[in-house]
C-alpha cells in the first residue's frame, strides 16, 4: 500500500504505521525518525535540524524534500510505503505530488487520524522511545510499557523520553500542527484521496485501512 498518515503529534501515526508494515511488506518512512537518527549521529542534516526540532518547530521544507526525494527511490519502497509525518505543509504536499508523478507512483489514500486533544496531551507526556536510532520502538508508560522498565523489548537499548517532549515543545508542536499541517486535510480531500478515521484505537485505524486497500 502507498499511504500518507496525517494526524497531530501523538495521534498514533508511528504506532499505526508499525502495525501496517506487518500486513504487506510496505515500509514505514518517518521523517521524524530519520531526523532524530541524523541528530544522534551528528551529521550535517542533524546539525541543521536539531534546534528546530527541540523547539517544536518544523524543519525547513527544502531539507525535508532532499531527504524524501532520495528515500522514495530506494528499492524497499517498491513494495509500498507509509509516510509518517510527511508531508507536513502545503509546499511539501505540492512537491510530493510532482515527485510521485515523475516517478509514476500513485497513492492509495491520505489517512487522517483524528484523536481528541486531551488524549494527545496525555499520550505525549507518557510516551517513551527506544534511543537506538535503528530501532526507535514506541512505548507508553500507561498503555504499552516495555517488559523491563527503561529497556527496549526489541533491541535492549535504553528507552527514553524524546527531547521535544517537554510541555513547552509539545504545546508548540500542536500549534504548529494546527497552523501548518491541518490544512492538508482539505488539500487531500480536494485531491480525492482523504480518508478520515476518528478513533482512539490503532486497531480501528488499521482495520479501516485494510478495507480501503482491499487487504
Gap between the Cα atoms of 191 and 175, Å rounded: 25
CB atoms within 10 A of CB 192: 8
Residues 107-146 vs ligand AP5: string with x where CB under 6 A?
----------------x---x----------xxx--xx--
At 29 the three-state DSSP class reads: strand
Q: Cβ 71 to ligand AP5, closest distance in Å?
A: 12
Of the residues 56, 159, 188, 209, which one makes contact with ligand AP5 according to CB under 6 A = 56
Contact flag: residue 9 with ligand AP5 (CB under 6 A): yes
Measured torsion, CA atoms of residues 97, 98, 103, 105, in degrees rounded to the nearest 10:
20
**Which of the 8 DSSP states describes residue 60?**
P
Q: Cβ 31 to ligand AP5, closest distance in Å?
A: 3
CB atoms within 10 A of CB 167: 10
Known catalytic residue at 127: yes
- Between 2 and 173, name the residue whose CB sits nearer to ligand AP5: 173
* Region from 69-77, 84-92, 153-161, 184-192 binding ligand AP5, contact rule CB under 6 A: 84-92
Contact flag: residue 187 with ligand AP5 (CB under 6 A): no
Known catalytic residue at 88: yes
Cell of 198: 476518528
Reported as half-sphere exposure (CB side, CA atoms, 13 A), residue 178 has a value of 6
Sheet of 194-198, strands arranged across: 27-30, 81-84, 2-6, 109-114, 194-198
Known catalytic residue at 172: no
Gap between the Cα atoms of 159 and 136, Å rounded: 9
* Region from 29-37, 73-81, 150-158, 188-196 binding ligand AP5, contact rule CB under 6 A: 29-37
Known catalytic residue at 173: yes
Give residues in contact with ligand AP5 (CB under 6 A).
7, 9-15, 30-32, 35, 52-53, 56-59, 64, 85-88, 92, 123, 127, 138-140, 143-144, 164, 173, 200-202
Which residues have a catalytic role annotated? 13, 88, 127, 162, 173
Amino acid at each position: 500500500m502507498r499511504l500518507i498518515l496525517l494526524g497531530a503529534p501523538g495521534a498514533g501515526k508511528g504506532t499505526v504505521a508499525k502495525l501496517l508494515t506487518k500486513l504487506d511488506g510496505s515500509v514505514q518512512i518517518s521523517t521524524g525518525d530519520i531526523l532524530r537518527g541524523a541528530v544522534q549521529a551528528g551529521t550535517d542534516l542533524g546539525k541543521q535540524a536539531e534546534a528546530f526540532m527541540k523547539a517544536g518547530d518544523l524543519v525547513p521544507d527544502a531539507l525535508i524534500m532532499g531527504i524524501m526525494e532520495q528515500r522514495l527511490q530506494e528499492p524497499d519502497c517498491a513494495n509500498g510505503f507509509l509516510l509518517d509525518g510527511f508531508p507536513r505543509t502545503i509546499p511539501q504536499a505540492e512537491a510530493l505530488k510532482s515527485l510521485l508523478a515523475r516517478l509514476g507512483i500513485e497513492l492509495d489514500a491520505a489517512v487522517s487520524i483524528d484523536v481528541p486533544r486531551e488524549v494527545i496531551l496525555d499520550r505525549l507526556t507518557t510516551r517513551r522511545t527506544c534511543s537506538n536510532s535503528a530501532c526507535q520502538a514506541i512505548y507508553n508508560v500507561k498503555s504499552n510499557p516495555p517488559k523491563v522498565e527503561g529497556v527496549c523489548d526489541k533491541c535492549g537499548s535504553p528507552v527514553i523520553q524524546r527531547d521535544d517532549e517537554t510541555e513547552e515543545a509539545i504545546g508548540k508542536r500542536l500549534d504548529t500542527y494546527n497552523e501548518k499541517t491541518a490544512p492538508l486535510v482539505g488539500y487531500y480531500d480536494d485531491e480525492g484521496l482523504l480518508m478520515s478515521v476518528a478513533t482512539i484505537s490503532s486497531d480501528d485505524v488499521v482495520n479501516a485501512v485494510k478495507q480501503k486497500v482491499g487487504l
